[in-house]
Structure 1
Amino acid sequence: MSAPDSRDQFPGSDQPVVSPRSRLAVVRAMNRRGIRMLHIADLVLVYALLFLVTLGMVPVRPGFNAVAHLPRYVWTYAVVALIHLVVFEIGGLYDRERRLVVQTSTSRLVMLVWIASLMVGLVSWLMGEFLIPRSVLIAYAVVGPAGLWLNRWISRRLRDRADGPARLLLVGAGPAVDRAEEHLATVNRVVTVGHAESVGVIEQLAVASDATGVLLLDGDALGMLYADSLSRLEARGVEVLQVVRPQDSLLGLRTVGEVGGMPVLPLSAHILTPSQSRLKRWSDLAVLAATAPVTIPLGLLTTAVVAVRAGRPLLFVQDRVGRNGASFPMLKFRTMRPDAEQPGGPIQALVDDPRIIRGLGWLRSARFDELPQLINVLRGEMTIVGPRPERPEEMADYERIIPGYRRRHQIEPGITGLAQVYGHYHTHPEFKLGHDLQYLANWSPLTDLQIMVRTGWVIITRRL
């Protein structure tokens, strides 16, 4: 007997309809490709709001003949809605929200709608004609954030209905657990599914109890979570919260929320969200394109200098550790003798290293030997700003002596980074790791721009 079709039929009808299970499979397939139902809801909302605002302007603007232009607006408003969707995607509106604390703020919605409206104006200026009447665009910029907020409110309610209440695993000593359970009992959207006194077992308990969140009731657990556990829990979709104690106010915390009346801080392994990763990649490609008129001639000139002074091979290819610990071949112009690391294997470069070919030391000081790494960036193996890539053999040593060192590989390694502009060549790896993790925690395109500018200044002033 053949397997049942994934489509059901209404009684008395030969028209197939998609079953709830099939609909869920379609939604999951869309999610795997980065498309959420919220994308579609926002696209429809913006498109509909533009027409509603246009028709609403007719009675208040004498001589505004919107009806005559409606056929044209059908396609121009579609372009406007797509521009908004791109801005919202880059702005992170479609990253998965936490269920308990951090939710999209109204000010963020307003800012993104205004940015999208400015982008529409820019595209209109480049095309030589307005895609949308300016008065409609201004009016939409006022009402648009309210519609987006409503979409997200509906999305959260549907998610809560589908997933049920948040299931919290409590971590702490007996009295602290009792107090927390007493407070959480007043919250309808949260249930407790167990408790543990030690952080060492929370991963197993979280899986066994199907927990959607972990609430830490004291501050001593952070050290054990820091290295790997938090990243693994986050990868499973488990939200981790820390109860904020009175003394924690000395840290100047700004993102404190509340659950059951308790002040809590959402913890994060600071892995870039999908939208941030895409934005960082697009930013890299934009910088490569913008600087190509300078970097390409400079690269060709450097190639000629290396060919004359060092001969073949022009490039030095070395395995380095990339994103998620995968190795890749990093490219550099060769400035040392071909036998610089034989027979003893890798040797750390020294100040005034005798292995450097005469006449090429200035290439290293000016960082011109790093120019081929722009090819690594173009291939997606590196990024312009990020933690510097380490050799695999050095990584093994660092991971053994510095807990959590592998966390710096949550993004592609960079040509320059925060540790390079604020540290020194001989700064201890643990301190460099602190810079790298702070970069991950506070990443933004502006941060990258600041580090690139600072890198240029360091090269000019220090020649390190």
Structure 2
Amino acid sequence: MSEPSRGRRRPLLGRLNRRGFRLVMLLDALAVLLLAVGVMLYRFGVPPWPTYTLGAYAFSFSVSTLIFVVAFYFGGLYEREPRLGGVPVLAHAARLSLAAGSFVALLNLALTGLAQQRGSLIERALPFPIQNLVAVIVLAAVAVTLNRTFVHHLRTRREGPPRVLVAGDESDLELARRHLEIAHDDSFVVVAEVDDRRAVVDAAHEARATDVLLMSGSWLDDWYPRTIGRLDRMGTTILLRVTGRETLFGLDRLREVAGLPFVLLLPQTMPSSQRHFKRLLDLALLVLTLPVWAVVLGGVALYQLFAAGRPLLYRQTRVGVGGETFEMLKFRTMRVDAEAEGGAQLSTPGDARVIPACRWLRATRADELPQILHIITGRMSIVGPRPERPELTAGFEKEIAGYTRRHEVPPGLTGLAQIHGRYHTDAEYKLGYDLQYLVNWSPILDLEIIARTIWVVLARRV
């Protein structure tokens, strides 16, 4: 049975939506721009305004609006949110608005100082009066919240209330019935109940369900990753009921539906906005450190040429993002015939296949430097799970539950598992660190791992 795709009447908008574009972005941009202009009109009346030309203010407000929208995007404000059990937006929007406004203020100070230092015209700065900026920061958070309320109202008028399918064991379904009867919530409609975990996708298709309430957490073992992925491609969101025991483990962003607590299930741990931010951070770090890594890469290549001879590079098929394979480059540190007998195998302590003069390259991870080329093309990242060989990955996926989740992001030159483990460390042990990294990712975590990697390199840990 083919899976339906929603929004067929507007295929272009649907494709843009899947790539992260939201119409509410335009509303947010318009709101911030109008607020910037409106505050100026309130304070100073109609133009001309003091200190700067009208063109300078127009440029400043346009750039500032872009900064606000970019902050909202990378802050996850445009991730697809279900209409069912919505979480408050104002606090999240306020934090992002404050971050964006602070960046605008710092940029304004930096450009003003640079313009004055060079004796240039003051109009070369980014004019945004600080009192106005404070007002825009506060009002922008409110405007963003109101925009989402407006969009939610329009969507409900166009599509009707959410159509909910309730799934779980019979005892859990009975619990849902009792709460739904007590709640009398008319903001959604229950279109089906399913007690067979294998029949949920077909039932959701037939009932045109927009949301699935999963009442039984034990079903997750069978649902990940295939069922959750299929429901996501249908445009159906999945909410998992959590009990008091799970909430003690630190679950946040709980959603309440008919008096029951739920969390949103996603086919990927890291939202698309975070993955894009991570990619942008990779490129920025590569550009900033270009003189360093170019010199180190060239120096190691010359040493390797004399110590190991040709071929200088070792090509090997590895598993990348989404489980797709790619040809990874490394400096060759083993004999050319290292796998002539036995095929693919993990390195072991004191491995006799390693060229003695190249042991320090493996100890310091310097043999991984050619992978910088893969980071440039996007096949790899600076920080992420270690790329494994397909032969080994196939075995790990059968033996270790959840192993495929480490392929949600590009593999990394270094990573949390790499700095805590070694070449021969148990794969399940490494997986724990990989999943911990995915769940807790932030730019600060990446920078921390990079700093700790430098320490590992300097300590020549083996």
CA shift digits 1:202-245 (9 cap, x unpaired): 22322232222222223322222234332333343322222222
2:26 counterpart of 1:40: yes
Spell out, residue by residue over 1:361-397, the C-alpha distance to the aligned partner (whole angstroms, 9 max, x if none): 1111011111111111111110111111111111111
Distance (Å, rounded) in 1 between the aligned partners of 2:223 and 2:12: 36
Q: Secondary structure at the match of 1:359?
A: helix
Quote the residue 1:31 is aligned against: 17
Q: CA deviation at 1:57?
A: 1.6
Q: Deviations over 1:38-93 (max 9, x none)?
A: 1111111111111111111238xxxx945984454233312221222222222222
**Counterpart pick for 1:315 among 308, 313, 316:** 313
Letter paired with 2:457: I
Cα distance between partner residues in 2 of 1:339 and 1:175 = 61
Displacement after TM superposition at 1:427 (Å)? 3.4
Q: What is the SS of the residue equivalent to 2:357?
A: coil
Name whichever of 44-53 and 400-409 sits farther off.
400-409
Whether 2:196 is the aligned partner of 1:170: answer: no
> Kindly tell me: are residues 183 and 116 of structure 1, through their superposed partners in 2, closer, same or farther at Cα, counting changes over 3 Å?
same
> Which amino acid is 1:109 matched to?
A
Change (3 A) 1:96 1:276: same
Q: Deviations over 1:237-287 (max 9, x none)?
A: 322222222343442433322101112222334343221111010011111
Q: Structure 1 residues 457 and 208 mapped into 2: Cα distance closer, same or farther (>3 Å)?
A: farther
Give 2:376's match in structure 1, choosing from 378, 389, 392. 378
Corresponding residue SS for 1:168: strand
Distance (Å, rounded) in 1 between the aligned partners of 2:242 and 2:413: 38
Give the structure 2 partner of residue 7 of structure 1.
Answer: none
Checking the alignment, whether the CA contact within 8 Å between 2:28 and 2:147 is kept in structure 1 is yes
1:327-366 maps to which residues of 2 (within 5 A)?
Answer: 327-366=325-364
> 2:404 is aligned with what amino acid?
R
Quick check: 2:314–2:332 contact (8 Å CA) kept in 1?
Answer: yes
TM norm structure 2: 0.88
Q: Is the 8 A contact 1:93 1:104 kept in 2?
A: no
Change in Cα spacing, 1:195 to 1:407, as seen in structure 2 (3 Å) is: same
Q: 1:149 aligns with which of 115, 126, 145?
A: 145
C-alpha separation between the residues in 1 aligned to 2:126 and 2:172? Answer: 61
CA distance in 2, matches of 1:384, 1:68: 43
Partner of 1:434: 432
TM-aligned CA deviation for residue 431 of structure 1: 2.9
- 8 Å CA contact 1:55–1:66 kept in 2: the answer is no
Is the CA contact 1:42–1:148 (under 8 Å) kept in the aligned structure 2? yes
User: Aligned equivalents of 2:354 and 2:8: distance in 1?
Assistant: 64
Q: Tell me the residue number matched to 1:266.
A: 264
Q: Return closer, same or farther for 1:210/1:23 CA change in 2, 3 Å cut-off.
A: closer
Q: Aligned residue pairs: how many?
A: 441
Q: Does 1:133 align with 2:119?
A: no
Aligned residue in 1 for 2:60? 76
- Quick one: distance in 2 between partners of 1:256 and 1:269? 18
Higher relative contact order (CA 8 A, sep 6+): 2
| C-alpha distance in structure 1 between counterparts of 2:126 and 2:51, whole Å | 17
- Tell me the CA shift for residue 196 of structure 1: 2.0
Specify the code of the residue in structure 1 equivalent to 2:136.
Y
Q: Please report how far the alpha carbon of residue 102 of structure 1 lies from its aligned counterpart in structure 2 after TM superposition.
A: 4.6
1:50 and 2:17 aligned: no
Deviation at 1:24, TM superposition (A): 3.9
CA contact (8 A) 1:271 1:440 kept: yes
Aligned to 2:175: 179
Q: Mean Cα displacement is larger for which, 363-372 or 31-40?
A: 31-40
Quickly say closer, same or farther: Cα 1:127–1:441, change in 2 above 3 A. same
What is the CA–CA distance in structure 1 between the aligned matches of 2:8 and 2:324, rounded to whole Å? Answer: 37
What percent of counterpart residues are identical? 39
Which runs of 5 or more residues in structure 2 are unaligned? 1-6, 113-124
Q: How far does the alpha carbon of each residue in 1:14-42 deviate from its partner, in whole angstroms, 9 at most, with x for none?
A: xxxxxxx9994553454355432111111
* CA root-mean-square deviation: 2.6
Distance 1:74 1:154, change over 3 A: same
How far apart are the structure 2 equivalents of 1:362 and 1:311? 16
Which of 408, 411, 426 is the equivalent residue of 1:413? 411
Letter in 2 for 1:92: G
More off after superposition, 228-237 vs 130-139? 228-237
Give the letter aligned to residue 236 of structure 1: M
